[in-house]
Structures are given as structure tokens and as C-alpha cells.
Structure 1
Amino acid sequence: PHGFEGAVERDVPEVFERCRKLIAERQERPTDDLTSVLVHAEVDGEQLEEHEIVMGFFLLVAAGNDSTKATYCSGMRALMEDRDQLQLLLDDPSLIPDAVEEALRMFPAFAHFRRTATCDTEVHGQKIKEGEKVVMWYVSSNRDESRYEEPDRFDLRREAEHQAFGAGGRHFCLGTLKVMLEETLRRFPGIEIAGTPLHAESLFINQLKTLPVRLAP
């Protein structure tokens, strides 16, 4: 494997092993750091198991980090390619929350997620058996032509209902895309693309690998 998948296959096991070693150290010699809090935390009177702590680390490192960067970069690219939309934000920063929602619709950080059916069911005439895998393609549903007018166009005035976080359950992202857009446009209102953007090679992540820009004053 190469690209993102190759990096995951190569690096993730090493990261998990380092986490396990750190957990063992904090179990023996706790300090006042976040690792010690996780290691000695209790839920319903029981301490977390090792794999639960490791996944807690993973969420703290990954959640709102790579995903926010992905949507931010693609959203900024769309704005820089459509100066009229960018000017709307510069003239009226109160539209930034709308820009966030439209960016999430057009550029979800992940192309898809897979889940396992817990029981036999049927969706729009398609029978799904317990144990079968079901894949939700965000990049498709968020650009459904039967739902959105000009779905491939970045439009700040659109009511951008999307499925970037699934089917509408509670979700709080650790990343803050709104603040990133606010600060970028405040500090660099003349920002512009200065080269050819390159996409990451992956069927899972949906993001740019590089986005050369010129930070005009």
C-alpha cells in the first residue's frame, strides 16, 4: 500500500505500542498530566481497560485535527477560486458559520464510513441482513442532485443541510473550523492560490495533500 493507507499500515501500530508503554509507566508512576487522568479514570466505579485508554489517545490526537484541516483547506480553495464568495465573507463575517456548513457539505473530511447491520432490515427496497456491511458515501449524499441545486457549486446562501457527521445524532467536533476561517480572513484578506493543489491518494480520506498559497496583505 502507498499514500495514506501505506502510512497508516506502517505508523499506527508503532503509535499504539508507544501508547501502551506510556500507559504502563503512568500506572506505576502517575503524574499530573492528561495521560495519568485517563489511566486512572473510572466509569461506574471501574477503571478503563487498556484498549479504551489507547482509543482515547487516538481520539484526542486525531479528532478535530486532520479532519478539520481537510475541510478547512478544501473550503479555502473553493473561496479562493470564487472571489465573489470570498468577498461576501470579507464584507460580512457573520456569514462564516454558513461557510462552515457549506464546506462540510462539499468537502467532508472522509469519503465514507462503514458500519455493520445489527439486525435484518430494509432501506428503500434494499434488503440488508444482520452482519452485512453498509457504507455511507458522504461525498455522494452531500452532492445529491435531487436534493441540492448546483451541488458542485460552493454557495454561502445555500441552506447547507448535510450528512458530514452522519444521520443527525449529537456530535461535537474538537476542531474549530469557524475560528480558523475567521482568523485567516482577518489576517490575510488577499490570500490567493499560488500553485497547483494536489489531492491525497486515498479512497477513505477526502482532502488535499498540498495547497500552495500566497499570503497577500
Structure 2
Amino acid sequence: MRSDPAEQPEINLVDPKLYSDGDPFVQWRWLRDNEPMYWHPPTELPGFWALTRYEDVRAAYRDAETFSSAQGILLRPAEHGADPGGGRTLALTDAPRHRQLRGLVDSWFAVRSVRELEEEMRGVTSAVVDSALERGSCDFVTDIAARVPLYVICKMMGVPDSGWEHLYTLTSQAFGAGDAATRRFAHLEIMGYFEELQEEKADDPGDDLVSVLVTGTVEGKPLSTEDVLLNCNNLLVGGTENTRIAASGGMLALLEYPEQAQRLADDPALLQPAVEEILRWTSTATHIMRTAVRPTEIHGRRVEVGDRITFWLPSANRDERIFDEPDRFDITRKPNRHLALGFGEHFCIGSMLAKVELRLLYQEFLTRSIRVELDGEPKLLDSIVVNGPERLPVKLTAA
């Protein structure tokens, strides 16, 4: 159903409360139908262009020569200055450096490598679920969905088992609710932890991602200590945050649409398309930003050098021009060419890992016939960066 141009809602895509307490899809639907290339005026954030249609987002992702990642991939207040990872981390670099940096770690996230890790990942998942089952009631976000991807990426990075729980506590503080000072201190503690770890790996490299970064070269030179630390942080965040939110958002969707959960229980072969639909439905990265490095035009609107262009992924993944009944959660949906994991040169390097983690987690609940019920009111994140549950209290019952 198309939006009525006369019924334009107030457009404010940078209000965090819109994502925790409101309905951003009302605004996105109107923009897709009426202003698919929309100039969003400045607030406490600088002004930016907003792309909300699937094909426009896909085309911009593919055009890395016009739309640069090196000046940051998220909106941030001008007084915060440039993103310190700009031009230095995997997510915030352009070609040719991006390809060389990606080449250092690419093999670790390839299909073969992830399959070799699958049994260990299954063991991690089973242990996490066992611990939650013992308690009976838990927060699915923090007690299950956050732990599985964190423990897996810690293992891949060469973090000793003894450090997993420490990093779990720090990442919970760094990316969870709470005051800014606590979050800032936790970020510094994480960087301090990896500073010590990289020194150990420099003296005694192992078969892990941190060792690869410490010993590898980009453009013929070894990475600086700061570049190694920034990329360690990037891998830790990228390997945990979106999977955590997708896993918990997917569980919330299955609880809200019990007929879909029943279809999955009746036919576990639907798990693979179910994971793809969960990724589309949750679209955990609310926006991704690029900066124009040459003039261009989109939908008749002139884009100048230096303009910020934002891709609103949940909107693109509900575009009725691409998806039949996009507002319906359907675990049998085919085709399902969502953009939840990006597209083009910056397609998520951990996409295969994330899909396997989600599959193993839901498989654990299916094969053991674990009953999941809400045990309180879910709370959504107050954020324009990622969207999904902040808390999901559940009661778990073993068959």
C-alpha cells in the first residue's frame, strides 16, 4: 500500500526514541514513496541525504568510487571530529587499502574455515544454552545472544579462555545501556586488553586473527600498533554486536509470530531460509553512511563532494518494490536478497560466520525442544545505529 503524499509524517530519522518507542517504518514508507532521495536537515548531527529504497541503496553500495567509507560509516556530531578509524580499519577504508587489509583476514571467514570451526562453535552454543537453562529465567540478549558470538570471535582472535568472561563484561558495558563515562571507560579497557595481547602475539605469534594483524603487511608495511588495536576492536564489535541483536530480534519475532515458530519446529529443514528472513526482518544496522568524493545525481537531486549519504537498511529490506508483502515475517520467503549484511566491496566479511552462529543457536533450541516464553516486557534499543532488543526476558523449559 502506497503512502499518501498529503499525509506526510514528521520526518526525524535521528531521534533514538523513534526506534525504541515509535514506528520508524511509517517515515521510511512515506520517504520510499515520495522522497526516496531526501535531504535531512541538521540537528545535533550534520545534515545528510537519506536513501530508503532497495535499488538505490544497492547501487550506492556498489559505487565505491563515488561513495567513500574512509571518512566514517556512521553519523556523528561534528564536534566529535573525524572517526579515528577512518582510512585505517577494515570497515573504514577504500580501495586499494581495503582489499589488502581484507586480504589479511579473509581466509579466516571463508566457508571452509567457518565449517572447520563449526563443531567448536556448536560446543560453545550448547554450553551457553545449558547455563541459561539451569537458571530457568534469563535475558535472552545478554545471557545467550551476546555470549555465543563473543566467545566464538574471542576464540578466533586468540583470546585465551580465561579472558572471555572479562571481555564479555567489558563489551556489555561498552555497548549496553548506562552512562557515557562507563561506556567510555569500558572501551579504553578493551583497547588496553588488546594492547597487551598484541604484544604477546608479536613475541610468540599463533594461529589466530590477532597474530595475523600483528605479523601482516599492508601496502608493503606492517600495521602500526594503533592500527592493529583499531582493527582488533573492529573485529570484536563486528563479530558480536550485530549477531547478538539479530539472534535476539529473531527470537522475539518467533515469539510474536508463533505460527512461524511452529512451522520451523515441524520442519527443521526451513532453518536456512528462516535465518535469512531473520536477517532481513531484524536488519540490525539501522543506517550506514558514506561520503561523496565526486559529484553525482540521484533522483534528480545534486550530491556535492563532501555530502553525507545514509543508507537506511531496515527500510530497503521492507521495500515493496522488491519484496512481496514485506511487512510479513515469513521463514519460507524466497527469493530473499536482503541487504542486511551490506553489498559490494564492503559486504560483511563475517556474513558466513554470522549465519552459522544463528543457525547453530536456533538449532540448539529445536533439537532439544526447548520451550521459550516471554517472562516480562521486551525493551528495544534507544539508538539510531543498531536496532533490536536491548532486553528480552524469557523463561526456558527443557523438554
TM-score bucket of the superposed structures, by smaller chain: 0.7 to 0.9
After superposition, give the CA deviation of every residue in 1:11-51 in whole Å (9 maximum; x if it has no partner): 32443344345545655x44547444432223464211223
Counterpart amino acid of residue 395 in structure 2? R
| Mapped pair 1:119 → 2:294 | yes
Measured at CA, do residues 15 and 79 of structure 1 come closer, stay the same or move farther in structure 2, by a change above 3 Å? same
C-alpha distance in 2 between matches for 1:108 and 1:95: 20
Structure 1 segments, 4+ long, off by >6 Å, are none
Among candidates 133, 136, 144, match of residue 311 of structure 2: 136
Deviation at 1:72, TM superposition (A): 1.0
Distance 2:254 2:308 in 1: 36
1:78 equivalent to 2:253? Answer yes
2:341 corresponds to which of 143, 165, 170: 165
3-state SS, counterpart of residue 288 of structure 2: strand
Taking structure 1 as the reference length, the TM-score comes to 0.84
The match for 2:214 is: 39
Counterpart secondary structure, 2:371: coil
Pairing of 1:44-63 with structure 2 (within 5 A): 45-63=220-238
**Which residue does 2:327 correspond to in 1?**
152
Aligned pairs for 1:85-104 (under 5 A) are: 85-104=260-279
Please, which of 346, 353, 375 is the counterpart of residue 194 of structure 1? 375
Which moves more between the two structures, 132-141 or 52-61? Answer: 52-61
Query: What secondary structure is seen at the aligned counterpart in 2 of 1:153?
Result: coil
Instruction: Classify the secondary structure of the residue corresponding to 2:289.
Output: strand
Partners of 1:10 and 1:207 in 2: CA distance = 24
**Partners in 1 of 2:307 and 2:238 — Cα distance?**
27
Amino acid at match of 1:57: C
Q: Within 2, Cα distance between the matches of 1:41 and 1:168?
A: 24
Hey, what does 1:213 align to over in structure 2? 394
CA deviation map 1:48-91 (0-9, x unaligned): 12233113211331223121110111111111222211111111
Summarize deviations over 1:131-175 as a string: whole Å, max 9, x none. 111101112111223433432221112222211122355444233
Counterpart code for 2:190: V
CA contact (8 A) 2:374 2:393 kept: yes
> What is the alpha-carbon distance in structure 1 between the residues aligned to residue 236 and residue 298 of structure 2?
35
Letter in 1 for 2:299: H
Contact kept, 8 Å, 2:375 with 2:395, in 1: the verdict is: yes
Q: 2:186 aligns with which of 11, 20, 23?
A: 11
* Deviates most, 166-175 or 69-78: 166-175
Shift of 1:107: 0.4
The match for 1:65 is 240
Judging changes above 3 Å, is the alpha-carbon distance between structure 1 residues 64 and 14 closer, same or farther for their aligned structure 2 residues?
closer
Tell whether the 8 Å contact from 1:4 to 1:201 is kept in structure 2 after alignment: no
* Greater Cα offset, 17-26 or 52-61: 17-26
The question of whether the paired residues in 1 share the 8 Å contact of 2:284 and 2:314 is answered with no
* 1:53 alignment partner, SS class: helix
Q: Which runs of 5+ in 1 are unaligned?
A: none
Q: Which residue of 107, 110, 133 maps to 2:282? A: 107
> What is the Cα deviation at residue 10 of structure 1?
4.5
Whole-Å Cα distance in 2 between the matches of residues 25 and 98 of structure 1? 42
TM-score normalized by the length of structure 2 = 0.49
Shift of residue 189 of structure 1? 4.1
Structure 2: how far apart are the matches of 1:211 and 1:12? 24
Contact 2:342–2:348 under 8 Å retained in 1: no
The answer to whether the 8 A contact 2:295-2:305 is kept is yes
Question: CA offset at residue 9 of structure 1?
Answer: 4.2
> For residue 213 of structure 2, what is the amino acid of its counterpart?
L
Identity, % of aligned positions: 33
Assess if the C-alpha contact under 8 Å between 1:4 and 1:200 holds in 2. no
1:184 corresponds to which residue? 365
**Structure 2 counterpart of 1:150, which letter?**
E
Summarize the Cα distance change of 1:93–1:210 in structure 2 as closer, same or farther, 3 Å threshold.
same
Would you tell me which structure has more helix in proportion to its own residues?
2
